[in-house]
């Protein structure tokens, strides 16, 4: 939930209580600060040291959050969480691609953009919106006054939807996308005087295939090879099966990782220059001190850790942890580091509070404005993270089973849909080399963390234990009867039935009617089933035909479906022929 604070009142009181000699040095908070959110794509948390402008102008003049995390470590769910303040299981965008993912699946009627616009802000998105936006373009979501979005994200030879008009950019040096976007961001700032504004700046860098601007090629050609304790981990016998199935990274893949790592860091140089251009534009219009500037990323990326080659989506630190630094001269005061947990779902409620915007409904994140001003006395001590399998992806990314996990100071616990578990002592084992799950010496802490998982989920904006489905206004809840019968919202048969509902029932009028009726009458039935083990077994048996239909609909190819129809038609024909022959004989 959004935590309500009285920042303005507390600041006024603190100023009045200060000695007169220090009053002039105390920064004052504006009523409605400008907000600039700079979001990179797949940037690791430990790469800010390669960005000189970010270091000098943000880190050394703001607050560096050393424990910033995303709640789902892939692009589209994370970006949807940033725009809504909700966990993925509540906003429903579970993957990068449809079904249950991508821009088409995102409900855009109530977002950070609409909240701020309603509060009097001029809003702009420059760069990447959500994966598969090309399926919607030239559509412009509500809440945006200025829209300069990638139709499909690329470094060169791409199209931008510029306020409804598609503009193509080629392969010339001046068309390099980070530079083009930086120019448009600066232009928006310079034309936004006279009222508060919100700029959401989203370059494609350093997403793979990271392509540096020509002027930055080979800047890090002499970079030392990457070699952390978990890189190409030799003994993974204690890891889940999907990690054990990964082969040791060979020389060819190691070379690819090193090349991509070099390009990753080189492509960030143009982003660093874009930050400089944004700061310059703010200075030119006299708004730098009145602007909240946040730099972060949508998720992290593995560079060979635990045998993962350029992988995101995992529950390890390399995927979940992101850089985050905030500069707000009107509030943050002395530069410092903040080690308390902040999440991507916290950005929306934080901006809303600073802007005085009204949230139309509860959110999962909480405003970290009290952390900015240094007044927070009560803050989260743990966090929830989750992931849904996305088979449209490739490599190790496509092998990660669905999971949920909890991270707290010193510990991380993960439960996979396969039944496998991971437990790490983050204090003594920050590289997560030794899985302590099942070790009797750590049974107490594992039990406590396992109990904490459902508590974290139950305390959110929508306590539904299963990801939502549907589209538009058809936000659908969990498959309650199936969940009660199989005992877990992540059980394979439950997920299969959920996907069948989302893909085959919700797109049709009669299907939506059926789902609405199901959701209306199923809760008391599910509760009854859940309390009787023998009844659960009966319901599971009764669901088998539907599970089979769902499997056949979702998992078979077109040719397999045609063959099935042909076989069925042949069987029906044989039965009819035999019946007619029997009548003739009689």
Residue that is written with structure tokens 């270091």 in the block: 55
Phi, psi of 468 (to 5 degrees): -80, 165
Chain Cα centroid distance, residue 434: 27
Token digits for 309? 């080659």
**Which is it for the CA torsion 341, 347, 352, 358, positive or negative?**
negative
CA 413 vs CA 142, 304, 365, 387: distances in Å: 38, 22, 21, 14
Note whether 143 and 200 are within 8 A (CB).
Answer: no
- The H or E element containing residue 396 is none
Active site residue 75: yes
Say how many C-beta atoms besides its own lie within 10 A of residue 576's C-beta: 10
Distance CA 565, CA 229 (A): 54
Residue 387: is the preceding peptide bond cis (ω within 30°)? no
Note whether 132 and 471 are within 8 A (CB).
Answer: no
Phi, psi of 166 (to 5 degrees): -85, 125
Q: Is 548 exposed, middle or buried (CB count within 10 Å of its CB: 0-12, 13-18, 19+)?
A: exposed
Say how many C-beta atoms besides its own lie within 10 A of residue 563's C-beta: 12
Note whether 477 and 498 are within 8 A (CB).
Answer: no
- The H or E element containing residue 569 is helix 558-585
Residue that is written with structure tokens 């829209």 in the block: 147
Residue among 496, 507, 509 nearest 549 (CA): 496
Note whether 356 and 31 are within 8 A (CB).
Answer: yes
Distance CA 322, CA 307 (A): 20
Coil/strand/helix, residue 37: strand
Distance CA 399, CA 419 (A): 15
Residue among 287, 272, 270 nearest 199 (CA): 287
CA 390 vs CA 154, 314, 335, 404, 551: distances in Å: 21, 12, 40, 15, 17
DSSP state of 98: S
* Among 75, 314, 319, 479, the one annotated catalytic: 75
Residue that is written with structure tokens 């970079």 in the block: 223
Buried b (16+ CB within 10 A) or exposed e, 430-446: ebbbebbbeeeebeebb
Residue positions annotated with a catalytic role: 75
């Amino acid at each position: 939930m959004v935590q309500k604070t009285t920042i303005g009142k507390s600041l006024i009181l603190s100023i009045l209580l200060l000695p007169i000699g220090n009053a002039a040095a105390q920064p004052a908070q504006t009523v409605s600060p400008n907000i600039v959110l700079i979001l990179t794509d797949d940037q690791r948390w430990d790469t800010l040291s390669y960005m000189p402008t970010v270091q000098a102008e943000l880190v050394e003049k703001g607050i560096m959050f050393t424990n910033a995390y995303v709640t789902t470590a892939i692009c589209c769910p994370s970006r949807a969480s940033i725009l809504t303040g909700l966990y993925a299981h509540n906003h429903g965008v579970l993957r990068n691609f449809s079904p249950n993912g991508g821009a088409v699946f995102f409900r855009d009627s109530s977002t950070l953009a609409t909240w701020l616009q309603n509060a009097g802000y001029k809003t702009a998105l420059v760069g990447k919106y959500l994966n598969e936006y090309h399926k919607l373009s030239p559509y412009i979501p509500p809440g945006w006054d200025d829209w300069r979005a990638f139709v499909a994200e690329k470094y060169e030879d791409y199209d931008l939807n510029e306020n409804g008009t598609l503009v193509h950019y080629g392969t010339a040096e001046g068309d390099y996308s980070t530079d083009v976007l930086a120019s448009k961001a600066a232009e928006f700032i310079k034309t936004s005087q006279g009222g508060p504004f919100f700029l959401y700046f989203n370059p494609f860098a350093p997403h793979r295939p990271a392509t540096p601007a020509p002027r930055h090629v080979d800047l890090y050609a002499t970079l030392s090879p990457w070699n952390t304790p978990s890189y190409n981990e030799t003994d993974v016998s204690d890891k889940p099966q999907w990690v054990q199935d990964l082969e040791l990274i060979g020389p060819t893949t190691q070379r690819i990782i090193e090349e991509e790592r070099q390009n990753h860091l080189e492509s960030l140089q143009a982003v660093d220059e874009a930050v400089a251009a944004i700061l310059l534009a703010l200075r030119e219009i006299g708004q730098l001190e009145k602007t909240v500037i946040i730099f972060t990323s949508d998720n992290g990326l593995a560079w060979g850790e635990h045998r993962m080659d350029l992988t995101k989506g995992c529950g390890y630190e390399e995927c979940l942890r992101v850089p985050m630094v905030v500069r707000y001269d009107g509030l943050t005061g002395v530069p410092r580091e903040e080690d308390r947990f902040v999440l991507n779902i916290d950005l929306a409620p934080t901006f809303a509070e600073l802007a005085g915007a009204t949230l139309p409904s509860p959110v999962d994140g909480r405003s970290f404005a009290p952390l900015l001003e240094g007044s927070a006395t009560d803050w989260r001590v743990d966090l929830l993270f989750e992931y849904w399998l996305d088979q449209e992806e490739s490599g190790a990314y496509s092998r990660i089973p669905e999971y949920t996990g909890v991270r707290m100071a010193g510990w991380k616990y993960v439960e996979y849909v396969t039944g496998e578990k991971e437990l790490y002592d983050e204090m003594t084992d920050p590289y997560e080399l030794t899985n302590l799950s099942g070790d009797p010496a750590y049974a107490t802490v594992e039990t406590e963390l396992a109990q904490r998982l459902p508590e974290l989920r139950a305390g959110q904006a929508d306590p539904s234990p299963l990801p939502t489905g549907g589209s538009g206004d058809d936000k659908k809840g969990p498959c309650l009867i199936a969940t009660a019968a199989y005992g877990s919202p992540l059980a394979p048969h439950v997920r299969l039935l959920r996907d069948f509902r989302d893909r085959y029932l919700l797109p049709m009028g009669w299907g939506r009617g059926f789902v609405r009726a199901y959701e209306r009458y199923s809760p008391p039935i599910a509760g009854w089933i859940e309390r009787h083990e023998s009844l659960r077994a009966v319901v599971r048996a009764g669901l088998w035909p539907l599970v089979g239909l769902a499997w056949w609909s979702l998992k078979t190819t077109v040719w397999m479906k045609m063959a099935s129809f042909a076989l069925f038609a042949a069987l029906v024909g044989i039965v009819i022929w035999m019946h007619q022959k029997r009548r003739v004989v009689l």
